[in-house]
A and B are shown apart, each in its own frame.
Chain A
């Protein structure tokens, strides 16, 4: 990956501390970078820490989750060390977020136009009238028919797809440079999903915004992102260009993910699930977190944990066996 100048996350660790219990690390030593205008995907199953990582960037960690260490550098400023006021000033005009559930992520008692206009009024200092006009303009840009009328609607009066478009209009209303998306299409049905993804891509291009896209859906990453990181049990296990990683996965977990998902190009290929379950994060195995489920596990994997190592140009993987294992293997 090229050295990034928009967002760089370095050794971020997140977890829970409770009285009389040892601290539980949920996200451990996560590092990645995002360039201006880049579309970066974070893939992983439920509980892999991908959403928490995203929320840490947005400063929206749920109560009880603490940052144990690391840096989140946005344009050279460490977001974990700026004051709450500085950080709030960034949320909207610099960094914006689209959430997973359009059903619950909008305020149910506030008109959607007003919800879109809220950010521009606060950050751009627009009058109510100008902000309302901007809200309608943004709604039109997200392809909402009859935006002037719809801006007066309450969220429950709109469909899931329209609500997610409202969320996108809201997130982009202050022209952020970085858009964080937490599974924005998971709650939508497949046809709408496709439309919303296209819309996100086009709008990010128009506004020149970089995208960090968290999802469990490999097909979505394949369609939307240029680069990706695969997360497992709170670690990044592989990074690289999407097309490289999909063609030639270098971590057994990535390979397992690809093998367990259906592929339209090879409809007759049997699906191979990954045996077992992700580890209990409170009782992490001593060695590689994936070792108990790994088909290529070696004796050394159970003792020490592999770190992300460059594999080829622009590729890293956290696996001791990656060089020998995949050498010469057909994709």
Chain B
């Protein structure tokens, strides 16, 4: 079992060039702006002295390769630069925001699984039956509604009308965090669930009609035992990769949702940075988000390997 996971170090190693590529793109962000970045950053507050000072601070007077080398060298030391807005180290801002977004994403993932697995199972038991049509209507609706709109509707209904959950914020204690994150996580889950349901429904139908499920039935297996032991584990395999891809999108989606619910995560940090032209912050968040996506990809492969004994990414298998 574990020798099949021996691909992980190699996979991490091969992620390095990707990460390096991301740093180049992130670095060039500043220089892709038309005109002088210092002027763009300062906007109408730019006096010639201030512009000159900022150029000096950003190291814009040096050749490009040297600027990149300096940027990369600082990154390796965990130095993302200093925020142009409040002069705090960007690393500090990012490390405060990362756990918030991570919790939100994980919460959203768990909620979407809690929604998807039963609905997919219900739909797959009798394809084209009444319940299946209901579930399919839900997936269509879920995919059709924009995330931010779902968020606002939930706030209006659940928070403002029913007063069950706060309209926004993050709270102070761990329990409060979960309480405050429930609605935003639910919003993300509603947008992610349809894709999971579709994939899981299709693979569950295939699994239910498979020979091995007939074998299991011939052993007297039925109901939830049959579903857990034979159907779900097989049906989950193709869905894992669907979830992996969609988690990547979810990271992007969380930026808008954090804004809607005023959550101090990476998304809020990113948007504040964009409006303030706080380039070091934007660069840092972009880099961290890219890392998220890369890590999710690797985790997907690991999970895939753990779930399906036939999958083998290790070297011996490829040789």
A residues with CB within 8 A of B: 58-60, 62-63, 84, 88-92, 96-97, 99, 101, 104-110, 115, 118-119, 122-123, 154, 156, 167, 170-171
**Cβ of B300: which chain A residues have Cβ within 8 Å of it?**
none
Decide: A118 near B229, CB < 8 A? Known: A63-B209, A91-B218, A107-B215: yes
A108 contacts B309, CB within 8 Å?
yes
Complex interface bits, B216-247 against A, C-beta within 8 A gives 1, otherwise 0: 11111110000001100110010000000000
Q: Taking A62-B209, A63-B209, A156-B310 as contacts, is the C-beta distance between A105 and B229 under 8 angstroms?
A: no
Q: List 12 A-B contacts (CB under 8 A).
A: A62-B209, A91-B219, A96-B218, A96-B219, A99-B218, A105-B212, A105-B215, A107-B230, A110-B229, A118-B216, A122-B221, A171-B218
Which of A99, A110, A154, A167 sits near B230, CB closer than 8 Å? Answer: A110
Q: What A residues does B44 contact at CB under 8 A?
A: none
Which residues of the partner chain B approach A110 to less than 8 Å between Cβ atoms?
Answer: 229-230, 233
Q: Flag whether B308 is at the interface (Cβ < 8 A).
A: yes
Closest to A102 in B: B211
Given A109-B233, A109-B308: A122 and B219 within 8 A (CB)?
yes
The chain A residue sitting closest to B222, CB to CB, is A88
B49-85: CB near A (< 8 Å → 1, else 0) gives 0000000000000000000000000000000000000
Does B210 interact with chain A (Cβ within 8 Å)?
Answer: yes
Smallest beta-carbon distance B156→chain A, Å: 43
Bound state CA distance, A96 and B222, in angstroms?
A: 15
Q: Chain A CB within 10 Å — which of B214, B220, B222, B308 has the most? A: B220
Question: Is B114 close to A, CB under 8 A?
Answer: no
Which residues of B have CB within 8 Å of A122? 219-221
In the A-B complex, list the 8 residue pairs whose CB atoms are closest, starting with the nearest.
A104-B211, A91-B220, A97-B218, A154-B309, A119-B219, A105-B211, A107-B212, A88-B220
Question: A92-B220, A110-B230 given as contacts; is B309 within 8 A of A99 (CB)?
Answer: no
A188 to B209 alpha-carbon distance, docked (Å)? 23
- Residues of chain A within 8 A (CB-CB) of B137 are none
- Across the interface, A60 reaches (CB within 8 A) one of B212, B214, B229, B237, namely B214
Q: Are A109 and B237 in contact (CB under 8 A)?
A: yes
Is residue B307 within 8 Å, beta carbon to beta carbon, of the partner chain?
A: yes
Bound together, the chains give a CA A119 to CA B211 distance in angstroms of: 17
How far, in angstroms, from A101 to B93 measured CA to CA in the complex?
Answer: 59
Question: Are B209 and A109 within 8 A (Cβ)?
Answer: no
Complex Cα spacing A90 to B214, Å: 15
Assuming the A-B contacts A104-B211, A109-B237, A110-B230, are A118 and B221 also in contact, with contact meaning beta carbons closer than 8 angstroms in the complex?
A: yes
CA of A119 to CA of B215, assembled, Å:
11
A123 in contact with B214 given A107-B230, A107-B234, A110-B229 (CB within 8 Å): no
Cα A58 to Cα B218 with chains together (Å):
7
Closest residue of chain B to A63, judged by CB?
B209
- Closest CB-CB distance, A173 to chain B, in whole Å? 9
Nearest A-chain residue to B212, judged by Cβ: A107
Q: Known pairs A60-B218, A109-B308, A118-B229. 16 more at Cβ < 8 A?
A: A58-B218, A60-B214, A60-B217, A63-B209, A97-B215, A99-B215, A99-B218, A107-B230, A108-B234, A108-B310, A115-B215, A122-B219, A123-B220, A154-B309, A156-B309, A156-B310
Closest to A93 in B: B220
CB of B212 within 8 A of CB of A108, answer yes
Q: Which residues of A contact B237 (CB under 8 A)?
A: 109
The residue in chain A whose Cβ has the minimal distance to the Cβ of B234 is A109
When distances are taken between beta carbons in the complex, the residues of chain B under 8 Å from A119 are: 219-220
Shortest distance in angstroms between A133's beta carbon and chain B's nearest beta carbon?
Answer: 18
Query: Chain B's nearest CB lies how many Å from the CB of A72?
Result: 15
**Which residues in B have their C-beta under 8 angstroms from that of A89?**
220
Q: List, in ascending order, chain A residues with CB within 8 A of B307's CB.
A: 109
Q: Tell me the bound Cα distance from A110 to B212 in angstroms.
A: 11
Within 8 A of A (CB), among B289-309: 307-309
